[in-house]
Amino acid sequence: MKFVLVGGTGALGKAIAKEIVARDHEFCNISRNPEHSRKVLPNATAHSDFSQKNTNSLLSIFKEADVVINLAGSNIASGRWTHAYKSMMYNSRIVTTNHIIDLMNQFSEEKTLISTSAIGYYGDQGDKLLDEHCSAGEDFLAKLCYDWERASQNVNSNIRLVNPRIGVVLDKHFGALAKMLPAFRFFVGGPIGSGEQYFSWIHIQDYVNAIIEMSENSRYEGAYNLVAPNPVTMKDFAKELGKTLHRPALFRVPELALKLILGESSYMVTASQRVSSKRLETKMFHFKFPELDSALENLLG
């Protein structure tokens, strides 16, 4: 199979690219910075600039593609959500997705588009178990995810569309887990916020396997929650992390302190999202790490 990654130079994109090559498929990467792409994704068959000026080259690449995986979007966790930063988060997702759709709709061949989203779609819904039929939230992140998915739905009927709503991906090198590790290793770790909010996670390998399976198998279509079957509260997550590292989990980070430091973006770690993986399980997807203890032991043990 021939894959096109859009925005594949991030940590998740690199993990997907590695698996694509391991399964004897080939891929090219489209990004705003092809020179950087060549450095971080040396196994790609091509690197192209994602701009309106490069339309002819992009059309040639998309024509050959069996699967397009849309990973584009600026990092939502790298700064305070100022008006300018929100605009960048929005445009890097919705405008980019619109451009992808315009390109893919030029062709009549059957293709697959995996256009990622996130469980931020649901907003803060307490301890309610959330499946793919639940409504979107009202906060900025929920509206961003909603518009992101809506943009991808303008594909022609020959394109199979999948919208993975991704949970918190666990990896020791990046993301939420990596940011929590230093405090725990210095014996000052603990839950973030109240600790009662639900934390819907997925091991990096299960995330990658799910994305590839969705790409290869036509039985997947529409929205799927990409989370492990067993979400936990933040308090229980911190407790299990401490147990894995043989450290206490006593030092809670107050929600007020997070709001003072991070502003509106603190919502990412204080919102409660208890998300169900049932629809993914009905497709017979096999989780290698369905339980938090085995996931953390694999990553950190």
Global pTM value: 0.95
Residue bearing tokens 């020179």? 35
Determine the Cα angle at 75 with ends 71 and 78, to 5°: 165
Contact (Cβ atoms closer than 8 angstroms) between residue 231 and residue 275: yes
Q: Of 2, 88, 4, 78, which is closest to residue 41 (Cα–Cα)?
A: 4
**Maximum CA extent, the chain:** 58
Mean pLDDT of the chain: 95
In terms of Cβ atoms closer than 10 Å to its own Cβ (0-12, 13-18, 19+), residue 88 is middle
Higher-pLDDT residue of 269 and 245 is 245
CA 62, chain centre distance (Å): 22
Tell me the percentage of the chain whose pLDDT exceeds 70. Answer: 100
Neighbouring residues of 95: CB distance < 8 A, sequence distance ≥ 6? none
CA distance to 79, 92, 93, per residue, from 148 (Å): 20, 10, 6
Q: For 78-91, write each residue's pLDDT tens digit.
A: 778 999 999 999 99
Both tokens assigned to 276? 């169900």
* DSSP-assigned beta bridge partners for residue 198: 233
Domains of the chain: 2-169+202-227+277-284 (3.40.50.720)
Q: Does residue 52 register a pLDDT over 90?
A: no
Mean pLDDT along residues 283-290: 97
Q: For 55-109, write each residue's pLDDT tens digit.
A: 999 999 999 999 999 999 998 887 789 999 999 999 999 999 999 999 999 999 9
Q: For 209-222, write each residue's pLDDT tens digit.
A: 999 999 999 999 99
